[in-house]
């Protein structure tokens, strides 16, 4: 097959190099066709080397051949990655102001688009309207992935990985072969459906964008959009966390002593998993960061698996930057070994001999998230950092103080919006099906007590927290 790989002018253009290689390894003839701005991110020599064909951006190159028509007629498919917001807008307007857009306007081959842009650009009604237009014309648009964007932001808008785009493109090409006319003129034509490469979380994010866009464009009333199945929105999107990103940490960290042993705790992750399931059912897009979970993660949520406190810190700081709610229910080790033994620590023949393990403090992840959010707000960047932060305090009490007293002191130190205090022990809290928490807050004087199964408790906690979220902006 002859595949045109179009490349938009965005930072994700560097990933197009791998996409070129994948098609070339598949035995396809590959034509790299960047926009002029794309060459500012990836050089022409790189694209020519990987594709094995000359690269052009301008319709005035190779004029005698009428290059855009020749390329359009010979192509079996056009795959554009990344498809920037600007490129989507130009294609939806029928523009033909460079070689790539002119080729797309001319071809009868299937066109597959992999958008990549900032979340706010992707969810803007203009972009969503452009995507709807392109789908109505028979173009195949892949929903973007959710993850780290340019800078500190995370959210929907990340370009899917080249391997995923390649797999989707092959499927589209097999199901929608090149025709003699534009797709809209073929008998039985119907607009294309959204294409997915990732998790159910990304499907929910796409449904959320479609629902909001339909309402903003006046195609349906907001109340109708919530109940209209044809938008692709899940029933769960009607809950109190609809349209929200909730990041939850769960499980217990493990700090390696040697290749065999670790310092850990009794947390199984049951409570965090129950929170993730409840948040999903209440309409949220959920990112679960699981530290050594001993229970299965719920379906329909994005899962990042970590082992140590340092790994948990990195994943939490990245995922929570764009979160509406961050819930830190993982049991994080306060200390880790100062040194990792490369080989298994052996006991000697001397019965009195015992190794001395020096410990160092782990970072206080919860406090760091609170401080970062405060710094962002002071700098006028109110969109950075979770809107609400919920910590968990697993307390045993002490000879002098009750678990609740210790929890109150912890909340003052941490500065969280909420702190769920629960009593734990060998057969209490960790690994059980039921739990009891007292929810302390700096936002009001209430301290409700929630008790029951961990799922029931999670629903009540999340419904309570959701009431403190600001209204979603249009």
On whether the CB atoms of residues 100 and 6 are closer than 8 A, the answer is yes
pLDDT at res. 96: 94
| Residue 255's CATH number | 3.40.50.10300
Question: What's the start-to-end Cα distance of the chain, in Å?
Answer: 44
- Can you state the percent helix, strand and coil of the chain, rounding each to 5? 40, 20, 40
d(CA 268, CA 458) in angstroms, rounded, equals: 16
- Residue 294's SS3 state is coil
- Note if the bond before 134 is cis, omega within 30 degrees: no
pLDDT at res. 459: 93
Tell me: the pLDDT tens digits for 292-318?
Answer: 999 999 888 889 999 999 999 999 998
Parallel, antiparallel, or unpaired: how do β-strands 111-115 and 29-34 relate?
unpaired
Angle at 223 between CA 221 and CA 229, to 5 degrees: 90
| Segment among 6-10, 121-125, 360-364 with least mean pLDDT | 121-125
Q: Which of 163, 198, 233 is the last residue of a domain?
A: 198
Tell me: the pLDDT tens digits for 42-71?
Answer: 999 999 999 999 999 988 877 777 778 889
The answer to whether residue 345 sits within a structural domain is: no
Whether 274 and 410 map to the same domain: the answer is yes
Parallel, antiparallel, or unpaired: how do β-strands 245-251 and 325-328 relate?
parallel
Whether 295 and 411 map to the same domain: the answer is yes
Whether 262 and 390 map to the same domain: the answer is yes
User: Greatest CA separation found in the chain?
Assistant: 90
The answer to whether residue 342 sits within a structural domain is: no
pLDDT > 60? residue 233 = no
Whether 84 and 185 map to the same domain: the answer is yes
The answer to whether residue 344 sits within a structural domain is: no
CA distances from 282 to 242, 269, 278, 286, 301 (A): 7, 20, 6, 10, 13
pLDDT at res. 228: 39
Can you read off the two tokens belonging to residue 152? Answer: 């500190």
With CA atoms as reference, report the closest residue to 100 among 162, 7, 186, 163: 7
Kindly indicate the confidence band of residue 152, based on its pLDDT and cuts at 50, 70 and 90: low
Interval 91-112 mean pLDDT: 95
Interval 417-441 mean pLDDT: 76
With CA atoms as reference, report the closest residue to 450 among 367, 406, 390: 390
Kindly indicate the confidence band of residue 36, based on its pLDDT and cuts at 50, 70 and 90: very high
The answer to whether residue 86 sits within a structural domain is: yes
| Segment among 368-377, 429-438, 440-449 with least mean pLDDT | 429-438
Whether 148 and 254 map to the same domain: the answer is no
Whether 192 and 267 map to the same domain: the answer is no
Whether 330 and 443 map to the same domain: the answer is yes
d(CA 230, CA 78) in angstroms, rounded, equals: 28
Parallel, antiparallel, or unpaired: how do β-strands 140-141 and 111-115 relate?
parallel
- In the chain, what percentage of residues exceed pLDDT 70? 88
pLDDT at res. 179: 86
Whether 175 and 268 map to the same domain: the answer is no
pLDDT at res. 154: 67
Whether 298 and 394 map to the same domain: the answer is yes
Tell me: the pLDDT tens digits for 177-225?
Answer: 998 888 888 777 888 888 888 655 555 555 555 544 444 444 444 433 3
pLDDT > 80? residue 111 = yes
Helix axis angle for 85-92 and 125-136, nearest 10°, is 50
| Segment among 154-158, 260-264, 462-466 with least mean pLDDT | 154-158
Q: Domain limits at 387?
A: 245-337+359-466
Contacts of 220 (CB under 8 A, 6+ apart): 214, 228, 231
Cα R_g (the chain), whole angstroms: 26
* Domain count for the chain: 2
Q: Which of 139, 169, 198 is the last residue of a domain?
A: 198
Contacts of 255 (CB under 8 A, 6+ apart): 262, 263, 264, 308, 309, 333, 335, 336, 337, 362
Q: Is 218 left (phi over 0), alpha (psi -120 to 50) or beta?
A: left
Q: 166 or 300: whose pLDDT is higher?
A: 166
Whether 99 and 157 map to the same domain: the answer is yes
pLDDT at res. 231: 38
pLDDT at res. 223: 39
Q: What is the mean pLDDT of the chain?
A: 85
Angle at 470 between CA 234 and CA 126, to 5 degrees: 60
Q: Which of 139, 163, 198 is the last residue of a domain?
A: 198
How many other C-beta atoms are found inside a 10 Å radius of the C-beta of residue 355? 11
The answer to whether residue 215 sits within a structural domain is: no
On whether the CB atoms of residues 313 and 363 are closer than 8 A, the answer is yes
The answer to whether residue 234 sits within a structural domain is: no
Kindly indicate the confidence band of residue 424, based on its pLDDT and cuts at 50, 70 and 90: low
The answer to whether residue 278 sits within a structural domain is: yes
Whether 266 and 369 map to the same domain: the answer is yes
How many other C-beta atoms are found inside a 10 Å radius of the C-beta of residue 372? 17
Whether 291 and 424 map to the same domain: the answer is yes
d(CA 201, CA 195) in angstroms, rounded, equals: 14
| Residue 151's CATH number | 3.40.50.1950
Kindly indicate the confidence band of residue 229, based on its pLDDT and cuts at 50, 70 and 90: very low
pLDDT at res. 105: 94
Can you read off the two tokens belonging to residue 108? Answer: 């009868």
Kindly indicate the confidence band of residue 332, based on its pLDDT and cuts at 50, 70 and 90: very high
Interval 83-112 mean pLDDT: 96
The answer to whether residue 239 sits within a structural domain is: no
pLDDT at res. 189: 82
- Residue 221's SS3 state is coil
pLDDT > 90? residue 446 = no
Tell me if the pTM is above 0.75: no
């Amino acid at each position: 097959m002859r595949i045109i790989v179009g490349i938009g002018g965005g930072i994700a253009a560097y990933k197009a190099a791998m996409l070129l290689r994948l098609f070339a390894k598949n035995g396809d003839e590959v034509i790299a066709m960047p926009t002029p701005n794309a060459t500012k991110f990836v050089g022409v020599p790189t694209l020519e080397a990987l594709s094995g064909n000359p690269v052009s951006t301008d319709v005035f190159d190779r004029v005698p051949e009428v290059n855009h028509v020749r390329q359009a007629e010979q192509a079996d498919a056009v795959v554009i990655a990344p498809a920037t917001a600007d490129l989507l807008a130009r294609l939806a307007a029928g523009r033909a102001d460079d070689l790539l857009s002119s080729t797309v306007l001319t071809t009868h081959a299937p066109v597959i688009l992999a958008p990549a842009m900032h979340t706010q650009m992707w969810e803007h009604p203009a972009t969503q309207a452009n995507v709807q237009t392109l789908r109505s014309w028979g173009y195949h648009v892949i929903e973007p992935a959710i993850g780290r964007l340019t800078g500190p932001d995370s959210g929907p808008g990340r370009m899917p990985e080249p391997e995923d785009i390649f797999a989707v493109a092959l499927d589209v090409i097999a199901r929608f072969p090149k025709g003699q006319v534009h797709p809209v003129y073929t008998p039985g034509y119907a607009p294309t459906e959204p294409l997915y490469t990732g998790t159910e979380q990304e499907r929910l994010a796409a449904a959320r964008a479609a629902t909001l866009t339909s309402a903003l464009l006046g195609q349906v009333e907001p109340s109708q959009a919530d109940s209209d199945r044809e938008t692709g929105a899940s029933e769960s999107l009607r809950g109190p966390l609809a349209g929200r990103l909730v990041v939850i940490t769960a499980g217990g960290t493990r700090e390696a002593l040697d290749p065999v042993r670790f310092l850990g705790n009794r947390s199984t992750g049951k409570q965090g998993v129950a929170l993730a399931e409840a948040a999903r059912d209440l309409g949220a897009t959920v990112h679960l960061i699981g530290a050594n979970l001993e229970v299965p993660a719920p379906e329909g949520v994005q899962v990042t698996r970590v082992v140590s406190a340092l790994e948990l810190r990195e994943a939490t700081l990245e995922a929570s930057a764009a979160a509406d709610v961050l819930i830190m229910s993982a049991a994080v080790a306060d200390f880790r070994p100062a040194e990792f033994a490369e080989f298994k620590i052996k006991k000697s023949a001397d019965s009195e001999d015992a190794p001395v393990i020096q410990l160092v403090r782990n970072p206080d992840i919860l406090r760091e998230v609170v401080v970062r959010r405060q710094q962002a707000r002071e700098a006028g960047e109110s969109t950075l950092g979770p809107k609400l932060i919920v910590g968990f305090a697993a307390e045993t009490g002490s000879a002098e103080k009750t678990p609740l007293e210790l929890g109150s002191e912890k909340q003052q130190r941490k500065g969280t919006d909420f702190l769920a205090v629960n009593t734990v022990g060998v057969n209490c809290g960790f690994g059980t099906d039921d739990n009891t928490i007292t929810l302390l807050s700096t936002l009001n004087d209430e301290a409700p007590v929630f008790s029951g199964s961990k799922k029931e408790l999670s629903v009540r906690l999340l419904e309570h927290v959701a009431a403190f979220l600001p209204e979603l902006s249009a």
